[in-house]
Structure formats: C-alpha cells, structure tokens
Amino acid sequence: MKLINCYVYSFGKLKDFKYEFTDGLNVIKENNGWGKSTFAYFIKAMFYGLKGGNKRSVSDNERIRFRPWNSTEKFGGYVVFERGGKAFKLERFFGSKDAEDELTLSDAETGKVFSNTDDLGKRIFGIDEDGFFSTTYFCQDAVQVKSVNGLTEKFVGEANDNDEKFDSALQSIKNKAKFYKYSGNRGKIPELKAKLFAAEENARAAREAAKTAVVLKKECDYLEEEAASLEKNIESLGESVKAEGAYKAVALKKQRLERLEKEEVEYKTDYDEVERVLCGNDPSEQELRDLENCYDELQQSLKYKQILVNEISQGQANSPADKKSRSQKFLIAAVSLSALFAVVGVAGLILAIPVLAVCGFVACAVCVAASAFFAATYRTGANEKKAAETRINAKKAKLAEYSEICDSYERSIRKYLSRYGVDVFDFRTAVSSIRRAAERKKDVSGALSKIQSEIALLKDDKDLLNYSVFAKKSDQNASEKLVEAQRSYKYAADALSRKKAAVVEYENKAERLNDYVEEKERLSGEIAAAEDSFRLLALTAEYLTEANDALKTRYRAPLEECLNSYLSLIGSENTAPLNIDVDLNVTVAEKNGTKVSDFYSRGLKSEFDICKRFALIDVLFTAEKPFVILDDPFTELDDEKVKSGLALVDKLSDKYQILYLVCHDSRVK
C-alpha cells in the first residue's frame, strides 16, 4: 500500500497545498511552524477522521485544533492511495461537528463511488486509530506503542483462527459478568442479595408488626373510653359556657350603664360651666358674627383715632409760630444795631476819624440789609402759621368725630356683653369666651341627649334588671374548662385516629409475612443461579485470555527477532538481547538479571520503541506493507544514533513507502 498524491484544501495552517508522493523515502524538511505535524495529522484524518467529541480543550479536540483560524467553513481535502494494486481517491471535509462531516471514497480511475465508508481506516489497515498511532505513525513526542488491544485484533486477523475478534468477545463476556457483579456492589447478584436482605428485614418487621398491632388495639380501647368520657364532660361544660356568655353580656351592659352615668355627670358639669358664661342666652351665629364685626370696627377706629392724635401732636410741635417769633427778635436786633452803627459813623465824621466813620457806615449798611431779610422772613412765618393752624383744626374735628364713633361702639359692645357672665372691659377675651361657650353648648347638649337616651334604654333592659340572677347561674371558669376539655378530647381523638391507622398498617404488614417468606426462597434460588453464571463467565474470560495470550505468544518469537535485528542495525550501545511479552512490554536480558525498560535512559528507551515499532509493522502487515509516517522521531537520539537511525530508515525505504518530516539538517541524510 502506498500514497500517490494529496491535496490540502484547508487544514490547520495548511491551505491549498499539494504533494506528490514517490516510492521509497519522501523527505519534507521545513522550519518549525511550517506545518509538518499538521500535514501528518491530515493524512491520518483522511483515513480515521478527527476525534474529540464535545471536549472544549484544544489539546483534546482535534476538530478545534485543526480548524483554520478565523474561519467557519468546512476544511479538509483528499488523498489518492494505492491498495491491492488499485488506486482510490479518499476525500473528506470536516464541519463543526461529526454530523456535518462529508466522506467520499471512489475509484481513482473510473470515479465509481463506494457507499460503505464505516470504519474506513480500520478496514483498510486492519487496526483502529490507536493501533495506527502505535505502528505506522511515529509522532515526535510519543514513539512508544499506545494500544495493545487494537494490535491484538490485528494478531487475531493475521492468525485467521477465528472470525470473532478477541476484544469484542472478551468485552462481551466482561459485560455479561458485570451484569451479575460489578465494582461498588453493583450488578444483579448484589441487587438480588440486597433484595434478599430487604425480604428478610420485611419478614422480621411483619412478625414485629403482628405483635405491635395487638398492643395498639388495647391502647385504642383505652382511648375510646377516655374520648367518650371527655365528650360527656364537653356537653356539660357547653351549658355552663352558655350561662357564662349570658352573664358576660349582661355584665357588659352594666359596665356600659355605669360608664354612661359617669359621662352624664361630666357633661352636666361642662354644661353648667357653659351656662355660667351664657347666662341663659342662646346667641345665634349671626349675632356672634355681628359682635365680632363690631369689635373689629372698634379696633380699626381706635387705630385711626390714635393716628390723628399723633399727627396733631407732631403738627403742633413743628408750628411756624416759633419761626415767626425768632424772625421778630432778629429784626429788632438788626434795627437797633443799624442805629448804633449809624451813630458811630456820624461820630467818626464829627471827630474826623475816617476809619471809624467808614466802619460805622459799613456796619450800619449790613444791619439795614439784615433788617430787610428778617422783615421778609417774619411775614412768611405769619402766613405758614395760619395754614398750619387750619390743618390742625381740621384733624381735631376728625378726631372728635372718631372719638364719638369709638364711644358708640364701646357702649354697644358693653351693653351686649352685660347680658353674659364675662368681663365687659376685656372685649377680645369676652367675645372669644362667648363663641367658645356657644359652640361647646351645642356639642355638650347633643352628647348629653344621646347619653341620657341610652341610659334610659339600659335602665329598662330586663336582663340588666335581673343581673343578680345571671351572676348566680354563671361559672366564670367554664370557658377555660371547656377549652381544656376540648383540647384533651382532640388529643385523645387524634391519638386514637393515629393508633387505628397504625393498627391497620401493622396488620397489613403482618398479612404479607407469607409473601416475604416466599420471596426469600425465590431470591435465594436466583442468587445461587446468578453466582453459578458469574463463575462460569469468569472461567470463560480466563480461558479466553489464556487463549489470547497463547495467540500473541506465537508472535513473540518473530517480534523479538525483528526487534533485536533493528536494534543491531541502529548500532545501539545496548548489546544485551531484548525480550517482549504478550502485552508488548520490552525487557532487557542483562547478565545480572532481566530489567524493565524504565531502568534505561530516555535515549535508549526511544531506540527500543522505534525498533519495536518497525518490528510490529513487519510482523503485523505481511500481506501488504503500509506507508510509514515519521514525524521527526529521532529527537531523543545522539548524533551517532541519529546517523544509524537514518541509515535504518534508508534501508527500510526499500520495502516501505516512508514520509519523513524533519526540521533540522542534522537529522537528514
């Protein structure tokens, strides 16, 4: 089997990539990040698809890992391969989930499409995906064999001993065995034993239930007697409670009468106080409003009267008479000084004293001018005084008018107030007292009338007249006694109901005793049969495993021979022979004893795994050799071992088509 060519439409970072394969060795040497591992996974995906399911981790979900970035389109491509001398074209595109994948297998020459594509990779190579990763696909980070079971199926197929694959047969037996017994007390046998235990417990409980039912019946008889006694007591107490209720109703009426009589006294006291103010008068609302208006008018008149008094006093204080008197005095003084200074001037002339004469005449002239000014001022003051006296006289006349008005209001108010029990000189308080008294009289009269009517009705009440009779018949603790009796009766009735229900329940359980006994016998038989079947399945699985190991043992010799042959070709420093068990575990036959591979370095273990891989391919694929993918598998080897490994690859390319992916010149021949 070999690859002919492939086309990557889109897969991971690869896009629109074509490659033509040749026979023998195909080397792709590119830098890290080019997409070499992606290309190897593309070839695997064409045959086996992508796995991951609903996992969200990139490392666990190949569909997420290889979907091109920033794209929601389908991705994939095709590969053309030859098998059995015939060319096929395998085209596969992947969606966001398995249901959206598209797979087409066709004849590369005729174009005929094959409809059966289920488990395509397994049908082509004879191994499942894990087996593919453990043989023909060498990953750079894991060259060890991953799956033994998948390879066992290949062994079975190669041996052609049986058409049924080992894993399916063994798993079928294990599944049947798990049906009977599984870890954690699961399976049919533990379930049957649990049911048997439950049946035994139910039988024991049924026996106990029969005993308990007898005890409960006796308790029910006692509770029935107690309930009957309490019921009679409740009837008797019911009559007492009725009498108590009648007494309480009459007592409430009596309390109401006493409270009303007390309120009547209080309202009469209020009424007397009101009458002391009203003195038998019943002023109407209009009278009260007229009285209040009269009082308001009096207050306004008194305010205006006071204003007039203030204005007259102020006018008299600022009278022009003072101004006229001052002007008259200044005029007399100025005339006198004029005469005096004239005499001084004449004396200066007579005495021939020029300075004295000039000063005297100048001063005389000034005094004459002042006399003229004061004379004019005197005349003006006389006129103003006359006008002021006219205004003051007018205000005095108005003041006299308002004084008469105020006196008239005061006389009217005092006359009205003299009919009431109030202070006639304190108008404001008196008017307010009369209004409050009038309003209070209405309220008190109405309330007093209602109270007196209700008192009259209560005094005529027959029950109230017979209050002492009700008091004698009443048991004031009857209600409490009745409540306690009813509580006791309810408790007894509830207990009786519960116990009767319990009796029915326990009797029903006791009746099922025979059923439980029969169930125990049936379950014991089923457990014995199931345990026999389980033992038979365990023996079958053991024999099948031994047969499988024997089958794989047939391949041990050729596997060990190929393994040691390849190890010598690669020039391993280990010279001790390698052994391989039926589970493909490698051990080394050292002189001082057999050692497992974990005792050796990573480099040596890598050599063992690489050689084991090629040995497996030789042994498993005898009919038709597959192609081999080497994704840089020599990273753990030193320089000398790399050269030997490359020589081995070169030699193997004579019988295998090999795709060798590498990133470093040191690992290229």
Q: Evaluate whether residue 174 is within a structural domain.
A: yes
Domain that holds residue 356: 285-418
Amino acid at 535: R
CA distance 52 to 98: 10
Structure tokens at 9: 């439409």
Asked whether residue 495 is assigned to any structural domain, the reply reads yes
Q: Are 628 and 659 in contact (CB under 8 A)?
A: yes
Six-digit token string for 276 = 């002391």
Q: Find the distance separating the first CA and the last CA of the chain, reported in whole Å.
A: 25
Cβ density class 543-574: b for 16+ within 10 Å, e for less: ebeeebeebbeebbeebbebbbebbebbebee
In a domain, 545, yes or no: no
pLDDT higher than threshold 60 for residue 568: yes
Cβ-based burial of 460 (10 A; exposed 0-12, middle 13-18, buried ≥19): exposed
DSSP secondary structure letter of residue 98: G
Residues 366 and 458 placed together within one structural domain of the fold: no
CA distance 530 to 517: 20
Which among 116, 93, 94 is positioned nearest to 105, based on CA atoms?
116
What is residue 160's predicted lDDT score, i.e. its pLDDT? 42
The whole-number average pLDDT for the span 182-201 is 78
**How many CA atoms does the CB half-sphere of 364 hold within 13 Å?**
14
Do residues 252 and 339 share a domain?
no
CA distance 198 to 115: 55
**325 & 375 share domain:** yes
Q: Which of 87-91, 97-101, 476-480 has the lowest mean pLDDT?
A: 476-480
Q: CA-to-CA distance for 81 and 404, rounded, in angstroms?
A: 141
At residue 629, the pLDDT reads 93
Q: What is the mean pLDDT of the chain?
A: 78
Most confident stretch, 81-95, 424-438, 475-489 = 81-95
Q: For residue 7, what pLDDT band results from cuts at 50, 70 and 90?
A: very high
Q: Is the pLDDT of residue 300 over 60?
A: yes
What pLDDT sits at residue 156?
A: 45
- In this prediction, residue 381 carries a pLDDT of 60
In this predicted model, what pLDDT tens digit does every residue of 476-530 receive, in sequence order?
Answer: 566 677 677 778 877 777 877 887 787 777 777 777 777 878 888 888 888 888 7
Residue in 131, 132, 126, 42 with CA at minimum distance from that of residue 92 = 42
pLDDT at 383: 67
Q: Are residues 304 and 411 in the same domain?
A: yes
571 and 600: one domain? yes
Question: How many CA atoms does the CB half-sphere of 176 hold within 13 Å?
Answer: 17
Cβ atoms < 10 Å from Cβ of 48 = 22
Greatest mean pLDDT among 237-251, 295-309, 550-564: 295-309
pTM, whole model, 2 decimals? 0.45
CB 21 within 8 A of CB 7: no
Identify whether 430 is part of a domain. Answer: yes
Tell me what percent of the residues of the chain surpass a pLDDT of 90. Answer: 15
- Same domain for 42 and 155? yes
- pLDDT tops 70 at residue 162: no
Give the span between the Cα atoms of 612 and 587, in whole angstroms.
Answer: 12
Which pLDDT belongs to residue 658?
A: 93
The most confident of the ranges 113-127, 237-251, 489-503, 562-576 is 113-127
| Shared domain check, 630 and 499 | no
- Is position 149 within any domain? yes
With respect to residue 531, please indicate whether it lies within any of the assigned structural domains.
no
More confident residue, 430 or 384: 430
Buried-exposed string 359-382: b where 16+ CB fall within 10 A, e elsewhere: ebbebbeebbebbeebeebbeebe
Task: Give the single-character DSSP code of 182.
Answer: B
> Looking at per-residue confidence, does 181 or 286 come out higher?
286
Are both 505 and 647 inside the same structural domain? no
Q: What is the pLDDT, as a whole number, of residue 163?
A: 39
- How many CA atoms lie less than 13 Å away from 188 in the CB half-sphere? 17
Buried b (16+ CB within 10 A) or exposed e, 11-35: bbebeebebebeeebbebeeeeeeb
The strand order across the sheet containing 586-590 reads 578-580, 586-590, 593-596
pLDDT in tens, 597-636: 788 888 788 888 888 888 888 888 887 899 999 988 888 7
State whether 354 and 435 are in the same domain: no
> For residue 633, with 0-12 CB atoms within 10 Å meaning exposed, 13-18 middle and 19 or more buried, which class applies?
buried
What's the average model confidence in pLDDT over 584-601? Answer: 82
Per-residue model confidence (pLDDT) at position 21 = 96
Residue that finishes a domain, picked among 387, 403, 418 = 418
DSSP 392-445: HHHHHHHHHHHHHHHHHHHHHHHHHHTTSSS-TT-HHHHHHHHHHHHHHHHHHH
Helix (H) or strand (E) holding 220: helix 188-278
Compute the distance between CA of residue 355 and CA of residue 349 in angstroms, rounded to an integer.
9
Mean pLDDT of 176-183: 71
Average pLDDT over residues 449-468: 73
**Mean pLDDT, residues 162-177:** 64
Residues 433 and 378 grouped into a single domain: no
Question: Does residue 516 lie in a domain region?
Answer: no
Average pLDDT (144-152) is 55
Across the range 392-398, mean pLDDT stands at 78
Instruction: Among 479, 511, 543, give the residue marking a domain's end.
Output: 511
Give the CATH number for residue 568: 3.40.50.300
Higher pLDDT, 155 or 229: 229
Are the beta carbons of 298 and 409 closer than 8 angstroms? yes
Please give the pLDDT value at position 105: 96
Domains contained in the chain, number: 3
| Residue 36 near residue 28 (C-beta atoms within 8 A) | yes
- C-beta separation of 608 from 568 below 8 A: no
Q: Which residue has the tokens 């891989």?
A: 613
Do residue 163 and residue 218 come from a single domain?
no
Q: Residue 437 to residues 281, 410, 420, 428: CA-CA distances in angstroms?
A: 11, 22, 11, 14
Nearest-angstrom CA–CA distance, 333 and 340: 11
Judged on CB neighbours under 10 Å (0-12, 13-18, 19+), 134 is buried
Q: Out of 214-218, 408-412, 550-554, which region has the weakest mean confidence (pLDDT)? A: 550-554
Average pLDDT over residues 129-152: 69
Can you tell me the mean pLDDT for 13-17?
94
Which residues neighbour 344 within 8 Å (Cβ) at sequence distance 6 or greater?
Answer: 356, 359, 360, 363, 364
Which of 356, 389, 418 is the endpoint of a domain?
A: 418
Asked whether residue 71 carries a pLDDT value surpassing 80, the answer given is no
- Please state, for a pLDDT cut of 70, what percent of the chain lies above it: 80
Minimum mean pLDDT among 256-265, 535-544, 642-651: which range? 535-544
378 and 458 together in one domain = no
Q: Coil, strand or helix: which one is 30?
A: coil
In 482-557, the DSSP E strands lie at none
Query: Is 264 domain-assigned?
Result: yes
